[in-house]
Structure 1
Amino acid sequence: MNFLRFAVRRLLEMAVTLLGASFVVFGAMYLAPGNPASFLLGGRSASPAALEAIEKQYHLDDPFFAQYFRWLGNVLQGDFGRSLQYRTDVSELLASRLPTTMLLVGMALLIVVVLGLALGRFGAVRGGAADTTVLVGTTFAIGTPSFVAAILLQGLFAVQLGWFPSSGSGSGEGFGSMVWHLTLPAVALALYLVGLLARVTRSAMLEAMEGEHVAVARSRGVPERHIIRRHVFRNALGPVLTTAGLIVSTLLVCTVLVESAFSVGGIGQLLERAATTKDFPTVQAISLIIIGIFMTVNFVVDLLLPLVDPRITLGARSKA
């Protein structure tokens, strides 16, 4: 019952937060400088009557709240409107580009989890020169922004060595081709977060090693590998799991830069172009999707934390 009550409460909080976020996103685009009608004219001069006709067609001349509530009502029905730039439904744009971005983010997340946990554990357990190497490597990773990593990887592995494509997603050539095309973007996207997760894992494991239960287990002659796996690494997963929201949000935000650098053609690149051209419906739809994914990840993390660490109760993280 506590689980159900907590889940319902969090879902209601998510709905209210998403509603507030929708208002902020819509208001930010409404207040942004420039006029989407000018883009629709393609830079051509037009008479006041022509401008008025365009604004009336797209309801750009309506009061702010009238525009917002009309848009919100359509969104609740699954209609994100029509793109001003591409002259097509936003839902169709997202359906064609979202799978590419989700594959890119999924590949990057896999790299982050595997390498981040492995490096953090390796440094904490081995210590000495191994730990120093991990610290130096993670410092380099954390200090390298995604767009810089994208340029370096593109120049070395795509241009100089020719091992990977320098652009595109390979979406029309099968799944294997997509993975090949998205490998460099995924590495560029993951590099910073690999360093971050490795640091968090290392610190959490070092702290867990100082616990009394670890000392008791060693005094009883429990093999060290069992202590590391059952007592140290498992107890370190709590702090690691709490960084999941930060990791996912960083991946979603940085994909805008990485997709643009590699011309991937996902929703990140679409968001960058839509913001430049003041394509209101597209920007608003993508922003809501990103916010929704971020809140969903945090919700799942809150549900998983008590399973990973029984000392944590439902809702403890949100109250902290």
Structure 2
Amino acid sequence: MSFTKFAVRRLAEMTVTLLCASFVVFGAMYLAPGSPASFLLAGRSASPEALAAINAQYHLDDPFLVRYLRWLGDMAQGDFGRSITYRTDVSRLLADRLPTTLLLIAMSLVVVVVVGLLLGRIAAVRGGATDSTVLVTTTFAVGTPSFVAAVLLQALFAVKLGWFPSGGAGDGFLDQLWHLTLPAIALALYLIGMLARVTRSAMLEALDSEHVTVARSRGVPERQVIRRHVFRNSLGTVLTTGGLIVSTLLVCTILVETAFSIGGIGQLLELSTSTKDFPTVQAISLIIVALFMIVNLIVDLLLPLVDPRITLGSRRSSA
């Protein structure tokens, strides 16, 4: 498939997916019990005139389809609406909080890729006791939820040892890196175990392949065999897990940000959901869906570069 055809097809798929996701996100909030008006009144009684004014301000009395189409049109123009809880534009809230979340996800992703690939490679190449140790370690990592890891890391490294802050996002880039170290590790722990296992399985499969046997029979040094014929050929399988890794990071960041009191969009989403802040929840949910689709598109574009046997629009199944 040519690049142009692939790009047009994926753009159409992403547009349809975003439209479907927008309808689900918009409708799901209205299916939940309660209403924005009840939150704004904070349990106080209100006259019919005051309640009507609130409903008119937020268009709560309009038919569902009318509200959805108005909201969709505003979103297409970059207008995310006005937060009911914070009484400010949602775009301003996102601009203030999104960089912190993206930095946290980026730090976690670096930890996942470096440690996960390294452990998987060591386990596959060395085997024996090393392989068993890595399997046990990754089993523990995979079995530890992010919020549990966050509590354990806080208790040990923040409260007991005092090496890292127990919460907050910090001020300035270096201070942010220091504050986000423990949250990044808590967010990455599960995915390190998953990526290490995928890498190990892919490399073991590559080690048993015919071209590796031929390379060894020709006297190619073992390090070169591992680097060029085993590790490189396994990257296609490993890369297909990229979408799953990023989607997990996007979801789990809500729990980690809440545990560490980080002012990112994850914590904002949790607070906005509990207060029925419709515009904020809807905007963040759509951003998460869009980020997930962008990551999957990047993975599809990188796969042919990593493994020439893969063409645009096709993916190898992971081991």
TM-score (norm 2): 0.98
Which residue is equivalent to 1:231? Answer: 229
After TM superposition, give the deviation of residue 137 of structure 1 in Å.
0.4
Q: 1:264 aligns with which of 245, 255, 262?
A: 262
From the superposition, tell whether residues 232 and 319 of structure 1 become closer, same or farther in structure 2 (CA, over 3 Å). Answer: closer
Which residue is equivalent to 1:218? Answer: 216
The letter of the residue matching 2:314 is: A
After TM superposition, give the deviation of residue 188 of structure 1 in Å.
0.2
Which residue is equivalent to 2:187? Answer: 189
Which residue is equivalent to 1:22? Answer: 22
After TM superposition, give the deviation of residue 264 of structure 1 in Å.
0.4
Question: Which deviations, in whole Å up to 9, do the C-alpha atoms of 1:225-264 show, x marking residues without a partner?
Answer: 0000000000100110000000000000000000000000
From the superposition, tell whether residues 283 and 300 of structure 1 become closer, same or farther in structure 2 (CA, over 3 Å). Answer: same
CA distance in 1, matches of 2:82, 2:43: 20
User: Which contiguous aligned blocks of 4+ residues in structure 1 show a shift greater than 4 angstroms?
Assistant: none
Give 5+ residue unaligned stretches, structure 1.
Answer: none
Which residue is equivalent to 1:255? Answer: 253
CA distance in 1, matches of 2:137, 2:202: 18
Which residue is equivalent to 2:158? Answer: 158
After TM superposition, give the deviation of residue 31 of structure 1 in Å.
1.2
The letter of the residue matching 2:305 is: L
Give 5+ residue unaligned stretches, structure 2.
Answer: none
After TM superposition, give the deviation of residue 319 of structure 1 in Å.
11
After TM superposition, give the deviation of residue 43 of structure 1 in Å.
2.4
CA distance in 2, matches of 1:86, 1:43: 18
CA contact (8 A) 2:113 2:192 kept: yes
From the superposition, tell whether residues 231 and 319 of structure 1 become closer, same or farther in structure 2 (CA, over 3 Å). Answer: closer
After TM superposition, give the deviation of residue 83 of structure 1 in Å.
0.2
CA distance in 2, matches of 1:131, 1:92: 49
After TM superposition, give the deviation of residue 46 of structure 1 in Å.
1.1
Which is further off, 266-275 or 12-21? 12-21
Which residue is equivalent to 2:281? Answer: 283
Aligned residues: 318
Kindly report which structure 2 residues correspond to 1:84-123, keeping only aligned pairs within 5 A, or say none: 84-123=84-123
Which residue is equivalent to 1:307? Answer: 305
CA distance in 2, matches of 1:164, 1:238: 37
CA distance in 2, matches of 1:261, 1:216: 52
After TM superposition, give the deviation of residue 50 of structure 1 in Å.
1.4
Which is further off, 35-44 or 94-103? 35-44
Which residue is equivalent to 1:175? Answer: 173
The letter of the residue matching 1:124 is: A
Structure 2 SS opposite 1:317: coil
CA distance in 1, matches of 2:122, 2:70: 54
Which residue is equivalent to 2:69? Answer: 69
CA distance in 1, matches of 2:317, 2:185: 35
Is 2:26 the partner of 1:2?
A: no
Q: 1:203 aligns with which of 201, 204, 223?
A: 201
From the superposition, tell whether residues 181 and 319 of structure 1 become closer, same or farther in structure 2 (CA, over 3 Å). Answer: closer
Identity %: 76
Is 2:49 the partner of 1:49?
A: yes
Structure 1 SS opposite 2:54: helix
Which residue is equivalent to 1:142? Answer: 142
CA contact (8 A) 2:237 2:317 kept: no
